[in-house]
């Protein structure tokens, strides 16, 4: 993942510290700021390949960690993985069957970038909406949710939909994001349920 942006300092640091991509530092940054994952949480990571967020999550909790991606994720000790599409309507029940209680859902999934800013942003928001729908089906009350999106005209709509389901919702640009990147994370805490889903 990191190599497509060249071997900059974040990429080199990730390799030195044993992470699979520079994205690990984004989750570390989010965790330091918002305490998303507690030490006994069960965590579901959507769009988890190649697995750098899973590496960080495994170090944050003694609970279960499950990574889901369309592509196989190379094995990690203490982490379960699944090749699946997060649009699959049967996926939430499968996940609950594997983990029981789900305390945290995170998604660092990103669309394949076309270079057309408005199209890429719309696809990122669509992925965010799919991740939100999944989270609303599996999270226990009081659970937390983090999803990556891109800033643009559709972003506030996604942010508002997340606010329908969580008591605390913030938009945060990670210090580890590349300069000039439009990516932004929605950090949602204290799930109140899916009752406002239209």
Query: Which one from 64, 148, 163, 189 is the annotated catalytic residue?
Result: 148
Q: For the chain, give me the number of helices (H) and strands (E)?
A: 6, 7
Quote the CA–CA distance of 12 and 26 in Å, as a whole number: 15
Quote the CA–CA distance of 36 and 87 in Å, as a whole number: 24
**Is 148 an annotated catalytic residue?**
yes
Cβ neighbour number for residue 133 with a 10 Å cutoff: 16
Strands 80-83 and 102-107: unpaired
Judge whether 136 and 105 are in contact, CB under 8 Å: no
**Lookup: tokens for 11:** 């990429």
Q: Say how far residue 102 (Cα) sits from the centre of its chain.
A: 14
Point out the residues that are catalytic. Answer: 148
């Amino acid at each position: 993942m990191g190599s497509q942006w060249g071997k900059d300092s974040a990429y080199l640091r990730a390799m030195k510290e044993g992470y699979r991509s520079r994205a690990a530092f984004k989750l570390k940054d989010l965790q330091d700021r918002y305490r998303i994952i507690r030490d006994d949480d069960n965590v579901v990571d959507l769009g988890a390949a190649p697995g750098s967020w899973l590496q960080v999550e495994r170090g944050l909790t003694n609970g279960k960690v499950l990574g889901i991606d369309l592509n196989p994720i190379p094995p990690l000790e203490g982490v379960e993985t699944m090749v699946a599409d997060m649009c699959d309507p049967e996926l939430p029940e499968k996940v609950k069957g594997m983990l029981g209680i789900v305390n945290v859902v995170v998604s660092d999934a990103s669309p394949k970038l076309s270079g057309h800013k408005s199209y890429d942003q719309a696809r990122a928001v669509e992925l965010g909406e799919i991740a939100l729908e999944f989270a609303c089906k599996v999270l226990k009350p009081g659970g937390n949710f983090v999803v990556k999106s891109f800033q643009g005209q559709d972003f506030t709509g996604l942010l508002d939909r997340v606010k329908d389901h969580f008591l605390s919702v913030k938009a945060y640009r990670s210090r580890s994001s590349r300069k000039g990147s439009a990516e932004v994370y929605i950090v949602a805490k204290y799930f109140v349920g899916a009752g406002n889903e239209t």
